[in-house]
Amino acid sequence: MKVSRLPRLTVVLLALTVVPLTLTAVTTTHDGNEVNNNRADTNTFDLQALARIPSGLRVRSYDLSRALDGFLVTCPEYDDRVGIHGPRMYHPNGEMFWAGDSWRESCVDVQIQTYHDQPVLTFWYNDHPHNYGVLLDTNYTEIARVQVVGHKEYVDLHELRLTSNGHALVITNANTPADTSQVENGARFGFAFSPIVQEIDVATGALVWEWRGIEHVNFRDSYRAYSPEKYDYTHMNSVFKDEYGDYLMSLRACNMVIKVDHITKDIVWQLGGKHSDFKFTNGSAFVGQHDAQLYELAANLETGQWVPGTGNTEMILFDNGVDGCGNSGPWGTARGIWLRLDYRHKEVTLVHEYLPPVRHRGFVARAGGIQALPNGNVLVSFGSGGDIREYTRDGRTTVFDASARQMYRAYKYPRNMWFGQGLPASKGSDLVVIDEDVDMIFATEPTGSCSRLFYWLGDQPLKFEMNLEARGKEVLSDTFTNEDKMSYRNSQQQEKIRTSPQQIKAEGTFSS
């Protein structure tokens, strides 16, 4: 790969060398039932057809020397105008590797996980009215489905986390008769939309463990106003199991994370909310959080869940900054945060935070995730905000910056975790780095064998066209007029990045 270096922002030019290939998958069964469902990507697919599927991802910057060399996976929330559907896997530079485009309704939370020591691709599929979790092997064959036990009418798509013993952690809900008169406008004979956490044996579908929120979480702990139609008083959005078998649960409408004893099912402690067991210090408070995990376990460290030499644990979570109940955080933006919990002094401190660039700061209304990467970096997905960023551990440097229309969560995994077939990376891709504050539009769709970058220095238009065939030959282009400039700015196939007008220097040919 040829690299042209100028300061600060990195942009990846995309091109694909398409090699026709057909993969054949075998129909499998689960508990004697067909699970193939005749979906295109569970039978055969060819890479030429795959290459025509819209990526759903736009890369703004990428530092190949510091970012994790691995696959990015997410489910961009589709928009029929541009035809983005289903789970996606991307090369490290953001080029598409694979897409399950036949899962078109609503794919949520795609991950690469391990099932009985084998890599699988997992996601929730919102196939109304029957939502279910999907496990695909490395041939993209559906090998299992995860379905909640009972309460199927309110299956929650927030969590599908596999455990080391072949179980799945899931969330469902039940609209339960309850005395809600203790909250404003509540009713003696009302209803509460109560969370239910289940641990399910994937192979047999048997229920292993269940926890009912209505038996443990008080309605008065919620910030959500009562509604007789649907009183979603906790809005649980993540479940994480620790090394002792206890469960970490995120309750967004209560602005709190709780730890639940796996034997008694009692709440051991709560972090945040109206009755927090911990005191927040130095900017560690959060609002409307998602994806709470114990850092050491999430990073697969040998120390287990404890910080070495201490009685403390560390937690990572996504702080939305707003909870949908009328509360917002004082920081003015969504962020990823890394917290330390001191059990002796009952204090929580901020270790690191992962902030978006100033021009992108703001609250994220829904969704979001955070992931500890094996190279020490941290990936933060900004949910409905659409941005995906990889940071160095201290949060000071962004080494990968991309955007989708919006997504629930995004994840990144080392290449050796997945050996399924996919599109090859472009051998002719060029990495171009430019100064900030140059007006730039990046053409995400190649024109013939070329991809185009358009720059403006003030009112002076520049056009740069790079031939991405094997020769990597630079092609001189005609002057790009202001009329063309406005046309491209308004095009849905372009992405604008705002940066400062400085002299551009790069290998290649520009015309002005």
504 in a structural domain: no
444 in a structural domain: yes
Tell me: pLDDT of 436 over 90: no
In sequence order, what are the residues at sequence separation of 6 or more whose Cβ sits closer than 8 angstroms to the Cβ of residue 84? 54, 56, 76, 77, 78, 405
Residue where a domain terminates, one of 226, 248, 274: 274
Q: Which domain holds residue 171?
A: 166-197+209-274
261 in a structural domain: yes
- Determine which helix (DSSP H) or strand (DSSP E) holds 485, and give its type and residue range: helix 482-489
3 state DSSP class of 96:
strand
Tell me: pLDDT of 211 over 80: yes
Tell me: pLDDT of 130 over 60: yes
Q: For all residues of the chain together, what is the average pLDDT? A: 74
Residue where a domain terminates, one of 221, 248, 274: 274
Residues in the chain: 512
Percent of the chain, pLDDT > 90? 38
Taking only the tens place, the pLDDT of each residue in 91-108 is: 988 888 998 877 766 788
Percent of the chain, pLDDT > 70? 69
Residue with tokens 């969704």: 367
Q: What is the average per-residue pLDDT within 466-494?
A: 35
The whole-number pLDDT of residue 425 equals: 80
172 in a structural domain: yes
> What pTM does this model have?
0.75
Of the two residues 10 and 403, the one the predictor is more confident about is 403
Of the two residues 368 and 455, the one the predictor is more confident about is 368
In sequence order, what are the residues at sequence separation of 6 or more whose Cβ sits closer than 8 angstroms to the Cβ of residue 52? none
191 in a structural domain: yes
Of the two residues 470 and 199, the one the predictor is more confident about is 199
203 in a structural domain: no
3 state DSSP class of 418:
coil
Q: What are phi and psi of 118, to 5 degrees?
A: -120, 140
Q: What confidence category does residue 178 fall into, taking pLDDT thresholds of 50, 70 and 90? A: confident
Taking only the tens place, the pLDDT of each residue in 5-36 is: 333 333 333 333 232 332 223 233 333 344 44
Residue where a domain terminates, one of 274, 303, 318: 274
Sheet holding 387-391, edge to edge: 58-62, 398-403, 387-391, 378-381, 369-372
Alpha helices in 181-335 (DSSP H): 295-298
Q: What confidence category does residue 406 fall into, taking pLDDT thresholds of 50, 70 and 90? A: confident
The whole-number pLDDT of residue 251 equals: 94
The whole-number pLDDT of residue 158 equals: 86
Number of domains in the chain: 2
Taking only the tens place, the pLDDT of each residue in 66-93 is: 999 999 999 887 655 555 668 889 998 8
90: its two tokens: 């991307």
476 in a structural domain: yes
Q: What is the average per-residue pLDDT within 375-390?
A: 91
Taking only the tens place, the pLDDT of each residue in 220-270 is: 999 888 888 888 889 999 999 988 899 999 999 999 999 999 999 999 999
184 in a structural domain: yes
Q: What is the average per-residue pLDDT within 448-452?
A: 35
